[in-house]
């Protein structure tokens, strides 16, 4: 362990102890929150997308309040920034970026992938979103508007992609298996 890591661990322990002494948060609450954070993964967001594809009422909830939609699937959102959900359509494609750092909907997608945090991704997403999508192998027709949305420390975003043709009659579990983290950020689109 490096000296820097050891110092960080000591500082984290001291802050946790102080929060407990001031009755702000208990050690059990800290442990619980860390467990939720460590368990978060793109499969949670994929479950949300799959449910929205088969359940119109859930889709409406997801688009109105992403955090409530996550909670409806037992994905804990307490203490998280609000979650907005952007719906892709045949004429509108959303691309999520955090232009300052790596604000990412961790509760529903897990830790941000390395590329999301890179300066190259952030810059190209704003400067040349169609070029960035092409770099990912995602081809968007000329008539489709590409809208870049900035995720921030105050508000996180995820994408509800268009359901792929050929998935009619599929159940939620099967649909969730075709949804990738890139689909929920907008750099890729799911396929059957």
Residues noted as catalytic: 98, 101-103
Distances (CA, A) of 83 to 113, 189, 192: 18, 20, 27
Distances (CA, A) of 24 to 110, 120, 130: 26, 39, 46
Other beta carbons within 10 angstroms of residue 109's beta carbon come to 23
Of 153, 184, 159, 185, whose CA–CA distance to 81 is shortest?
Answer: 153
Rounded distance, CA 38 to CA 43, Å? 13
Tell me how far apart the terminal alpha carbons of the chain are, to the nearest angstrom.
45
Rounded distance, CA 67 to CA 65, Å? 6
């Amino acid at each position: 362990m490096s000296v820097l890591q050891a110092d960080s661990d000591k500082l984290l322990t001291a802050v946790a102890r102080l929060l407990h002494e001031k009755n702000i948060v208990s050690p059990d609450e800290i442990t619980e929150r860390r467990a939720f954070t460590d368990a978060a993964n793109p499969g949670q967001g994929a479950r949300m997308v799959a449910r929205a594809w088969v359940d119109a009422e859930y889709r409406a909830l997801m688009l109105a309040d992403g955090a409530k939609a996550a909670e409806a699937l037992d994905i804990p959102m307490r203490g998280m920034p609000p979650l907005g959900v952007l719906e892709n359509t045949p004429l509108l494609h959303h691309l999520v970026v955090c232009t300052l750092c790596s604000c990412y909907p961790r509760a529903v997608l897990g830790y941000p992938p390395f590329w999301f945090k890179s300066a190259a991704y952030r810059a190209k997403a704003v400067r040349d979103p169609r070029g960035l999508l092409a770099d990912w192998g995602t081809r968007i027709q000329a008539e489709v508007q590409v809208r870049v949305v900035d995720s921030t420390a105050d508000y996180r975003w995820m994408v509800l992609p268009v359901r792929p043709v050929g998935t009619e009659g599929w159940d939620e579990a099967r649909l969730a298996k075709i949804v990738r983290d890139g689909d929920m950020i907008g750099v890729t689109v799911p396929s059957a």
